[in-house]
Amino acid sequence: MQELTHYINGAHVKGQSGRFADVFNPATGEVQAKVPLANAEEMAFAVDIAADAQTGWAATNPQRRARVLMKFVDLLNRDMQKLAEALSREHGKTVPDAKGDVQRGLEVVEYCIGAPQLLKGEYTDSAGPGIDMYSMRQALGVTAGITPFNFPAMIPMWMFAPAIACGNAFILKPSERDPSVPLMLAELLEEAGLPKGVLQVVNGDKEAVDAIIDHPVIQSIGFVGSTPIAEYIYGRGCSNGKRVQCFGGAKNHMIIMPDADMDQAADALVGAGYGAAGERCMAISVAVPVGEDTADRLIEKLVPRIEKLKVGPYTSGDDVDYGPVVTAAAKEKILGLVQSGVDQGAKLVVDGRDFSLQGYEDGFFVGAHLFDNVTPDMDIYTQEIFGPVLSTVRAQNYEEALKLAMDHEYGNGTAIFTRDGDTARDFANRINIGMVGINVPIPVPLAYHTFGGWKKSVFGDLNQHGPDAFKFYTRTKTITSRWPSGIREGGEFNFKPMD
């Protein structure tokens, strides 16, 4: 049985708390490793190391910091296959999905290479008589991130890359369900030239999270996970005087207008709803066809596509559409919500409850499910399922469809499929959701824009990556400078006071 470690001061360090969590192979259901769960003392030790390292790192000019990230990108590309396989082994997603996980993180690192430009301040010459004013962006100090299981490469890089580029040290508390890739990323950053102690990986559960929230040296916290935990971290972190950004749950609607290309819409729904077994905060989990005829045509297109989906372990190669969910508890929750949908009167058009994979009967596989005639009062509509389950809510007209998405408590992402530009423009302008796709099912912005939802999907006023990340991980300092004027006499300045 492999025993994983923390990564502190450039070295793998065994856990000292005596507490461990099991790391499963989701395809087989077997425990493949144990990960240590840090206590407050271990977290404090890592913070002390980070604080010592941060001073010198902040004094390193931005261009040299950027060169470390350049080298890091090269190493990520070199080890892409190795990282993807390690990720798949613990998370369960297919290798192509895992490579996408790494790639979307890598793109944010590439953006952060522009730190010398992004950290420039402003300057005003002669703001007053003999007075100049200028601003500078300075690092916060020690920062921290608490990241989820579903993107164990991408989201850590979304956090630590801009934090490090800005001159901060960073404490990463990854998910205890799939901790190996974050440890590998820390190794690669040190190989790229990052000084020891600037990035620390400390594994743990709630005790470690609370230690981060309460430690007086940690200046900021980033979090991605469920809304209840996001609210908890945001409230407690802010009360401790920290800068906090927390991203919570989602229930993403895709509206299908009568004029939409139905084959395109069906293909988009299958990819966005069932890819990565639905374990994505930007997954489409609610299809909203407008009009009965549109709904009937959509269901007719969806059913054969969903029934052809291939579910299997990542070791099956590229011939698999999605793999298992991350734990037995996740599988149980998903199937429980499916049963609630049946009990509450939704029509289960595609039933994956009896799915079993020969040779992997103990794995955490969940078959694909499609519901029709879902109503907004049902649990499968109100709750984030985080599994391969698509709910269809029929709307009689565009306004009803729009209202469904706008009234839901979550506001992470949404999409509309239509050929009509006026409808698409109206939707983009009126919808109260943070990320909008027009004939794009998963509208995740590229690295040079920002990622973030609205409503109960986010807590905090700055988004992830893009320009917002550099604002989040720095403070602005403004300097007003005044120098007395003088007249050179005999090779010396005789300074005279200014009026």
Is 281 among the residues known to form the active site? Answer: yes
The first and second tokens of residue 287, run together, are: 């299809």
Show the beta-strand stretches assigned E in 43-128: 123-128
Contact 215, 44 (CB under 8 A): yes
Residue type, 473: Y
Under 8 Å CB-to-CB from 391, ≥6 apart: which residues? 285, 286, 287, 341, 346, 371, 374, 378, 380, 381
Q: Which residue has the tokens 């120098």?
A: 483
Under 8 Å CB-to-CB from 248, ≥6 apart: which residues? 225, 226, 227, 228, 229, 230, 231, 410, 456, 457, 458, 459
- In this structure, the dihedral spanned by the alpha carbons of residues 412, 417, 420 and 422, taken in order and rounded to 10 degrees, is -10
Show the beta-strand stretches assigned E in 275-385: 284-289, 347-350, 369-372
Measured CA to CA in angstroms, residue 332 lies from 21, 339, 366, 371, 390 at distances of 19, 11, 9, 18, 17
Measured CA to CA in angstroms, residue 365 lies from 13, 135, 339, 357 at distances of 34, 54, 16, 8
Contact 412, 457 (CB under 8 A): yes
Q: Which residue has the tokens 């698999």?
A: 320
The first and second tokens of residue 138, run together, are: 């300075």
Under 8 Å CB-to-CB from 259, ≥6 apart: which residues? 418, 419, 420
Contact 313, 25 (CB under 8 A): no
Q: Is 298 left (phi over 0), alpha (psi -120 to 50) or beta?
A: alpha
The first and second tokens of residue 148, run together, are: 């989820």
Residue type, 30: E
- Name the DSSP class of 271: H
Under 8 Å CB-to-CB from 58, ≥6 apart: which residues? 138, 139, 167, 168
Helix (H) or strand (E) holding 218: strand 218-224
- In this structure, the dihedral spanned by the alpha carbons of residues 42, 47, 50 and 52, taken in order and rounded to 10 degrees, is -110
Q: Which residue has the tokens 């009803």?
A: 400
Tell me the C-alpha distance between 248 and 411, whole Å.
10
The first and second tokens of residue 472, run together, are: 């989040």
Q: Which residue has the tokens 């969940």?
A: 366
Q: Which residue has the tokens 């906090």?
A: 244
Beta bridge partners of 173: 146
The catalytically annotated residue of 112, 166, 246, 281 is 281
**Which residues are catalytic, by number?**
281
